[in-house]
Amino acid sequence: MTLLATLRQRLFRWQSDGTASTRLGQRRVFILPTRAGLLFAGALAVMLIGAINYTLALGHALVFLLVGIGVNGMVHTFRNLHGLVITPGRCEPVFAGETAHFPLRLGNERDDPRLALELEALSPPSPPTPLPSRRSVLERIVSLTSKKVGVLAAKPTRVDIQGGSTALASLPLPAQQRGWLVLPRVRLWTRYPLGFFRAWSYLQPEMRCLVYPAPLDSPLPPASPTLLGGECGSEGGDEDFAGFRPRQAADSPRHVAWKASARAPFQPLQVKQFAGGAEVELRLDWVLTDPALPFETRLSILTGWVLAADALGARYALRLPGDDIAAGAGERHRCRCLEALALAVP
Amino acid sequence: MSTPASEALDHQATPWLLLAALAAVLPHFAHLPLWLSAFVVLLFTWSGWLWQRDLRLPRRWLLTLVVIGGCAAVLYEFRTLFGRDAGVAVLVMLMSLKLLELKSRRDALVVVILCYFLLLTHYFYSQSIATGLWLLAALWLVTATLIRIHGGAAATVRGTLRHAAVLSVQALPLMLALFLLFPRIPGPLWGLPRDAHAGLTGLSETMTPGSIANLAQSGEIAFRVFFDGESPPPGRLYWRGPVLENFDGQTWHPRPQVFSGRGPRPQLRFESQPVSYQMTLEGHNQRWLLALDAPSVLPDDVILSSTLTANSRQPIIDRQRYRFSSVLDYRFNIEERAPVLQRNLTLPPASNPRAVELAHRWQSEGNGPEALVNKALGLFASEFFYTLQPPLLGENSIDDFLFTTRRGFCEHYAAAFVTLMRAAGVPARVVTGYQGGEKNPVDGYIVVRQSDAHAWAEVWLAERGWVRVDPTAAVSPTRIETGIATALPEGEPLPVLLRAQTDWLRPLRYRWEALNNAWNQQVLGFDRERQRDLMARFGLPDADWRNLAAALGVATAILFAISLIWAMRQQRRLDPAARLWQRALRRLTRKRIHCASWETPLALAARVAEERPELAAPVSRVVASYLLARYGRGGDLKPLRAAVARLP
- Which residues on chain A are in Cβ contact (under 8 Å) with B187? 52-55
For position B404, what pLDDT does the model report? 85
For position B216, what pLDDT does the model report? 73
**B558 contact partners, CB below 8 Å, separation of at least 6:** none
For position A233, what pLDDT does the model report? 39
Q: Do A193 and B185 touch (CB under 8 A)?
A: no
For residue B160, give the chain A residue with the closest CA. A193
In chain A, the largest separation of any two C-alpha atoms, in whole Å, equals: 104
User: Which region, left, alpha or beta, applies to residue B100 given φ > 0 means left and ψ of -120 to 50 means alpha?
Assistant: alpha
Q: Across-strand partners of A102?
A: A171
A2-125+137-212 folds as Immunoglobulin-like (2.60.40)
CA dihedral over B41, B46, B47, B51, signed as positive or negative: positive
- Which residues on chain B are in Cβ contact (under 8 Å) with A193? 146-147, 150-151, 163, 167
Would you list the domain boundaries of chain B? Answer: 11-155, 211-504, 576-645
**A300 contact partners, CB below 8 Å, separation of at least 6:** A213, A214, A215, A216
Tell me the C-alpha distance between A190 and A117, whole Å: 5
B454 assigned to active site: yes
Tell me the C-alpha distance between B392 and B114, whole Å: 51
Q: How many CA atoms lie within 13 A of B535 on its CB side?
A: 26
Strand, coil or helix: B446 = strand
Which one of A55, A64, A72 has the shortest CB-CB distance to B178? A64
Tell me the C-alpha distance between B494 and B513, whole Å: 19
- Which residues on chain B are in Cβ contact (under 8 Å) with A115? 150-152, 154-155
- CA distance readout (Å), B83 to A50, B32, B78, B306, B436: 12, 14, 9, 37, 38
Would you list the domain boundaries of chain A? Answer: 2-125+137-212, 225-240+275-342
**B466 contact partners, CB below 8 Å, separation of at least 6:** B308, B332, B333, B336, B458, B459, B460
Q: Do A72 and B192 touch (CB under 8 A)?
A: no
- Which residues on chain A are in Cβ contact (under 8 Å) with B190? 53
- Which residues on chain B are in Cβ contact (under 8 Å) with A39? 109, 113
Name the stretches of chain B with pLDDT < 50: 1-6
B410 assigned to active site: yes
Which one of B120, B178, B318 has the shortest CB-CB distance to A67? B178
Q: Do A83 and B568 touch (CB under 8 A)?
A: yes
For residue A151, give the chain B residue with the closest CA. B1
H helical segments located in B237-352 = 338-343
- Which residues on chain B are in Cβ contact (under 8 Å) with A82? 567-568
Tell me the C-alpha distance between A300 and A281, whole Å: 21
Give which of A12, A29, A34, A75 to mutate to test B binding, by max B Cβ within 10 Å.
Answer: A75
Give which of A194, A197, A198, A202 to mutate to test B binding, by max B Cβ within 10 Å.
Answer: A194
Which one of A34, A55, A118 has the shortest CB-CB distance to B318? A55
Per-window interface: A 189-208 vs B, CB < 8 A: 191-195, 198, 200
Spell B69-108 as b/e; 16+ CB within 10 A means b.
ebbebbeeebeeeebbbbbbbbbbbebbbbbbebeebbbb
- CA distance readout (Å), B416 to A211, A336, B50: 108, 118, 68
Q: Do A67 and B113 touch (CB under 8 A)?
A: no
Catalytic residue among B107, B284, B470, B595: B470
Which one of A68, A112, A156 has the shortest CB-CB distance to B174? A68
Which one of A62, A79, A198 has the shortest CB-CB distance to B120? A62
| pLDDT single digits (tens) B561-616 | 998 888 887 656 667 788 888 888 888 888 888 877 678 889 989 998 888 888 88
Which one of B105, B150, B571 has the shortest CB-CB distance to A111? B571
- Which residues on chain B are in Cβ contact (under 8 Å) with A73? 167
Spell B537-570 as b/e; 16+ CB within 10 A means b.
eeeeeebeeebbeebbeebbeebeeebbeebeee
Tell me the C-alpha distance between A127 and A335, whole Å: 34
pLDDT confidence band for A180 (50 / 70 / 90): very high
Q: In what order do the strands lie in the sheet with A179-182?
A: A94-95, A208-212, A179-182
- A62 touching chain B per CB within 8 A: yes
B71 assigned to active site: no
Catalytic residue among B410, B412, B452, B595: B410
**B485 contact partners, CB below 8 Å, separation of at least 6:** B494, B498, B499, B500
Which one of A59, A192, A200 has the shortest CB-CB distance to B151? A192
For position A39, what pLDDT does the model report? 94
**B108 contact partners, CB below 8 Å, separation of at least 6:** B9, B13, B17, B102, B145, B149
Per-window interface: A 149-188 vs B, CB < 8 A: 156, 158, 160, 164
- Which residues on chain B are in Cβ contact (under 8 Å) with A78? 567
Give which of A26, A32, A60 to mutate to test B binding, by max B Cβ within 10 Å.
Answer: A60
pLDDT confidence band for A226 (50 / 70 / 90): very low
| pLDDT single digits (tens) B254-289 | 887 655 556 678 888 888 889 999 998 888 888 888
CA dihedral over B472, B478, B479, B481, signed as positive or negative: positive
Per-window interface: A 25-44 vs B, CB < 8 A: 26, 32, 34-36, 39-40, 43
User: Which region, left, alpha or beta, applies to residue B315 given φ > 0 means left and ψ of -120 to 50 means alpha?
Assistant: beta
For position B191, what pLDDT does the model report? 59
ipTM over 0.85: no
